[in-house]
Amino acid sequence: MSFSPARLLRAISVSVAVAALTAATVYIVSGLLFPVKGVRVTGNHVVSDGEVRAQIPDHSSLLTLNSGLLIRRLKTDPWIEGVKVIRNWRSGIVTVEVEERRAVLAANVSGRRIFVAQDGTRLPGSGGARLSPVNLDHYELGRVVENVRVLERNGVRVQEIGGVTPGGVHARVSGREVVFYGRVTTAQARALKEIMRRNPTAKVFDLRSPERVVVGSSGDAGRG
């Protein structure tokens, strides 16, 4: 049995119409039965609640809300590092848990002020962080950023790069000073985390010796 082009076209048109009608029905029914009644935003300090809520269309449904698309859209903002979307089927509330990046470095590079997060992402501002600007060239900036990444990946939370001198880079970690120069290794970063835990009253931790962590006092930092 053969179909003429006209009959085949009609069959395709009917199939498309049925699919469209089905999709519309699902959308309407899901919106009536499982409407998004509110959006709760947590974890944000720089990004506003309104910026997050604006990514969820009006009259959205819990059933058809595309969490993956929402997460991808929100993560285009350089401040947003991670997002988790939680639906509450009883209340109709969608909770968006935001993890923001932290500005840890304000660098003057070739006449420009650059703000950098703990993972190396360039940020549009300080996000309210009180950072002391340091003067760096492009090579020094890359080296400092990579060392901060190594520390962060190994559980050492960097709060600020507070100074760069011929004697080294001075970082603030949990209110204490960490000094490094050149390349910080993974082994050093892991050792630093454990040594800081074991020495809660020590003020300075020196990573300038290869593969070593030296515990010192505030006078041992060698800022000159």
Residue bearing the bigger pLDDT, 216 or 105: 105
pTM for the full model?
0.78
So what's the pLDDT on residue 10? 58
Is residue 197 classed as helix, strand or coil in its secondary structure?
Answer: helix
The last residue of a domain, from among 100, 128, 144: 100
70 and 55 Cβ atoms separated by less than 8 Å: yes
Predicted confidence band at 223 (pLDDT cuts at 50, 70, 90)? very low
So what's the pLDDT on residue 34? 82
So what's the pLDDT on residue 220? 54
Q: pLDDT for 2-25, tens place per residue?
A: 556 655 555 555 555 445 545 444
Shared domain check, 169 and 136: yes
Report in angstroms the alpha-carbon separations of 154 from 137, 189, 208: 26, 6, 18
Residue 93 bridge partners (DSSP): 38
Shared domain check, 158 and 55: no
Residue 12 is part of which domain span? 1-33
The two three-digit tokens of residue 23, written as one number: 């999709």
Shared domain check, 52 and 154: no
So what's the pLDDT on residue 23? 47
CA atoms of 74 and 126, how far apart (whole Å):
19
So what's the pLDDT on residue 142? 95
So what's the pLDDT on residue 218? 58
The last residue of a domain, from among 50, 77, 100: 100
Shared domain check, 197 and 117: yes
Question: What's the domain count of the chain?
Answer: 3
So what's the pLDDT on residue 5? 60
Of the candidates 191, 212, 121, 204, which has an alpha carbon nearest to the alpha carbon of residue 162?
Answer: 204
Shared domain check, 213 and 107: yes
* High-pLDDT (> 70) share of the chain, %: 82
Side by side, the strands of the sheet bearing 176-180 are: 160-165, 168-173, 176-180, 204-206, 214-216
Shared domain check, 152 and 116: yes
Per-residue b or e along 5-25, where b marks 16 or more CB atoms closer than 10 Å to that residue's CB: eeeeeeeeeeeeeeeeeeeee
Shared domain check, 201 and 119: yes
Shared domain check, 123 and 74: no
Shared domain check, 108 and 215: yes
What does the mean pLDDT of the chain come to?
Answer: 87
CATH number at residue 68: 3.10.20.310
Shared domain check, 212 and 126: yes
So what's the pLDDT on residue 30? 44
Shared domain check, 187 and 110: yes
Q: pLDDT for 87-118, tens place per residue?
A: 999 999 999 999 999 999 999 999 999 999 99
CATH number at residue 181: 3.40.50
Q: pLDDT for 150-198, tens place per residue?
A: 999 999 999 999 999 999 999 999 899 999 998 999 999 999 999 999 9
The last residue of a domain, from among 100, 129, 146: 100
Residue bearing the bigger pLDDT, 201 or 218: 201
Does pLDDT of 32 surpass 60? no
Shared domain check, 64 and 74: yes
Does pLDDT of 31 surpass 50? no
So what's the pLDDT on residue 224? 43
* High-pLDDT (> 90) share of the chain, %: 76
